[in-house]
Structure 1
Amino acid sequence: MSAPDPAREEAGRWYAIASEDLRVAKTCLTLSPPALGNGAYHCQQAAEKMMKGLLVFAGTGFRKVHDLDELADLTSPLYPGLAADLDLCRRYSSWAIECRYPPEDDAPPPSEKSIGAAVTVLERLLAAIRRLA
């Protein structure tokens, strides 16, 4: 029996939180009417936690940021097989803020379709991450 891998265990904790965020995002879409702002926010959070988990797994440090562009820039070179989906996650970066606070303009939240597409990307990414572990 091999010794526990602390980086793998810590990354697993990040992935567990990402999985929960993803579950909440999916649930938001089932509400009547759908909770679009919260669904979008939890998509962003799921992507952020997945990327941070990947960085922990690789032993790479990162700043405490919510910026998915910055996190994707760090993770994509480490995991080229995940780069396409990590790149797609960049578009969810603004959802961390714009969907949690009153809008400064009358911009609507992301659409149900765009959140559904994000959920699909994130489910695929999480499945691929779990295959790495």
Structure 2
Amino acid sequence: MSVNNPWFDFADEDHHMARSALEDQIYNQVCFHSQQGVEKLLKGFLVKKGKLVRKTHSLLELMDLCMKIESKFQDFKDGFRELDKFYVVTRYPDALPGTLPEGLPNKKDATDALQFFEEVKDFMETLNFKL
């Protein structure tokens, strides 16, 4: 795993948790850990490039910062937007109604979220980051 960047190590832990939650059919946690893992990958990228990490959970905000260094992050914009929807609704039972149109994430939401997480992880590896 990464030697000098704990963000990537924590992202790997989120990946493990998301996969485990999928096996256990705990779909809201798959989505939460997928969102968190992608957030940590983006923050790890910024740290690796010597940038300060902003206190935010918004993948779109982090994408904007990453795009100043690597424009290909734009290709993931729709996925970042989708994962951003899961941050609050998957954590709190009293989240605002309507955050997700059909309530809590279902199996398709979970598998899509995990697949997107893995796509971002693969992309990071193409940027020569050992994850």
Q: Is the structural similarity TM-score above 0.5?
A: yes
* Corresponding letter in the other structure for 2:74: A
Residue 21 of structure 1 pairs with residue 14 of structure 2:
yes
Residue 116 of structure 1 pairs with residue 111 of structure 2:
yes
Percent of paired sites with the same residue: 27
Tell me what 2:82 maps to. Answer: 91
Shift of 1:52: 0.1
> Residue 44 and residue 94 in structure 1: after superposition, are their counterparts in 2 closer, same or farther (change >3 A)?
same
Tell me what 1:5 maps to. Answer: none
Gaps of 5+ in 2: none
Partner SS for 1:17: helix
* Corresponding letter in the other structure for 2:125: R
Gaps of 5+ in 1: 1-7
**RMSD, aligned α-carbons:** 2.1
Q: Which has the higher helix share?
A: 1
Is the radius of gyration larger for structure 1 or structure 2?
A: 1
- Greater mean alpha carbon deviation, residues 41-50 or residues 53-62: 53-62
> Residue 86 and residue 68 in structure 1: after superposition, are their counterparts in 2 closer, same or farther (change >3 A)?
same
Q: How many residue pairs get matched?
A: 123
Structure 1 stretches of 4+ with a deviation exceeding 6 A read none
CA–CA separation in structure 2 for the residues paired with 1:43 and 1:58: 23
Tell me what 1:50 maps to. Answer: 41
Partner SS for 2:56: coil
Alignment check: 8 A CA contact 1:18 1:50 kept: yes
CA–CA separation in structure 1 for the residues paired with 2:16 and 2:75: 22
Alignment check: 8 A CA contact 1:19 1:46 kept: yes
